[in-house]
Structure formats: C-alpha cells, structure tokens
Amino acid sequence: MKIGVISDSHDHMDHIEKFVTMASKDQFDMVLHCGDFCSPFVARKFTNLPKNVIFHGIRGNNDGDITHLNHTFSNIGKIKEGHQVMDIEGKTVLMLHGHAISEEMIVDIAKENRYDLVLYGHFHHTRNEQFGSTLLVNPGESCGYLTGEATCAIVEIPKTGKVTAEIVSLV
Ligand SMILES: [Mn+2]
C-alpha cells in the first residue's frame, strides 16, 4: 500500500497539482491530508486524483468553511473533525492535524507505541522518525510558505514488515 501524505496545502494550487500528478504517476493507493486545506476551491485540484485512490482528510485549525469544504470534496472523500484512527493493511494509523496539543505531546504519543504510524501536520516542518515500533511522520508544508520547502511524504505499508516513509519535494 502506497500512501501519499500531504498537509498544510494552504490554497497553493500549483503544489497540489504537482502532488496529484505524482499520485497518478507513482500509483498511490491512498491519499491522506493532515489538514489546513483552507479554501473549498482546492477541491478542483484534488478532483483530478485517479478514481481508485482512497482519500481521507482531517480538518486543520485554518479550515474555517468546513461545510463548503465537505461539499466540494463530496466526490473525492471525507474531511473529518479531530484525530482519526485507521486500520490500513493491518497497521494502526493515527492521523491528527496537531494544533490541539504540543509537538512534544505528539512525540510522547509516538513513544507509547500504541500505533504503527502517527501522521500529523500543523507545524510546517518535516519529520520522519522511528520511536520503537512507531513511525512518526510530518510531511511538512506542501505550500512552502514558511520554510521555502514544499514537501509531502510517501508512506509504504507492506503486507508484512515495517512501515517506511520518505519525504519528497514538490518543487
Ligand atoms: Mn497550517
């Protein structure tokens, strides 16, 4: 299972388009967005994801118009409130935006080893770090507004063996 993980896209349409092109070219099975889409019109880019790609998003602290976001994403996937726990290929995955708690607390969650994979965004920087049996990944900011580095993550969840991730540039 190959998963494209994106966060903090903050209306940057060109970088979303590059991510969507990558999803098609690299044959992602799933796309996870860790929040901060911002305007509902960004769905115009995500709608070009291949139809077989499963999409899940969560609401970030800057996603004000959740009603219209869910309306524009209705043919793509759901944007849910709060953190989400998912079973993907038998692995337990926690996805959160990250604004509700400190980054230290997110690291503490990873150190508890309750999840195989913890995905978060919000802090606009990348992280790809193993804590015991838990991989902690922040794909960074796909908008690139704060760091000048627009990134996403490609996560591999194999049928057997451990979860791995790679941080990839969108420019
Ligand atoms: Mn943000």
Per-residue pLDDT band for 13 (boundaries 50, 70, 90) equals very high
List the domain range (segments joined by +) for residue 160. 2-169
pLDDT digits (tens, 9 = 90+) for 86-119: 999 999 999 999 999 999 999 999 999 999 999 9
Q: Which residues contact 4 (CB under 8 A, 6 or more apart)?
A: 19, 22, 23, 26, 28, 30, 31, 32, 152, 153, 154, 155
**How confident is the model over 124-146, as a mean pLDDT?**
98
161: CA distance to ligand 1 center in Å? Answer: 32
| pLDDT of the residue at 26 | 95
Are 9 and 142 in contact by the 8 Å Cβ rule? The answer is yes
Are 128 and 134 in contact by the 8 Å Cβ rule? The answer is no
| pLDDT of the residue at 148 | 97
| pLDDT of the residue at 78 | 95
| pLDDT of the residue at 8 | 98
CATH of the domain at 141: 3.60.21.10
140: CA distance to ligand 1 center in Å? Answer: 10
144: CA distance to ligand 1 center in Å? Answer: 10
Q: Is the pTM of this model over 0.85?
A: yes
149: CA distance to ligand 1 center in Å? Answer: 14
φ, ψ of residue 19 to 5 degrees: the values are -65, -45
% residues pLDDT > 90 (the chain): 100
Question: Going along 7-162, which residue ranges are E strands?
Answer: 30-33, 54-58, 78-80, 84-88, 91-95, 117-119, 126-131, 134-139, 151-156
**How confident is the model over 37-52, as a mean pLDDT?**
97
pLDDT digits (tens, 9 = 90+) for 57-75: 999 999 999 999 999 999 9
Q: Which residues contact 133 (CB under 8 A, 6 or more apart)?
A: 113, 116
For the chain, give the longest Cα–Cα distance: 40
9: CA distance to ligand 1 center in Å? Answer: 8
Per-residue pLDDT band for 76 (boundaries 50, 70, 90) equals very high
Counting the structural domains of the chain, the total is 1
Q: What stretch of H or E contains 4?
A: strand 2-6
Are 136 and 123 in contact by the 8 Å Cβ rule? The answer is no
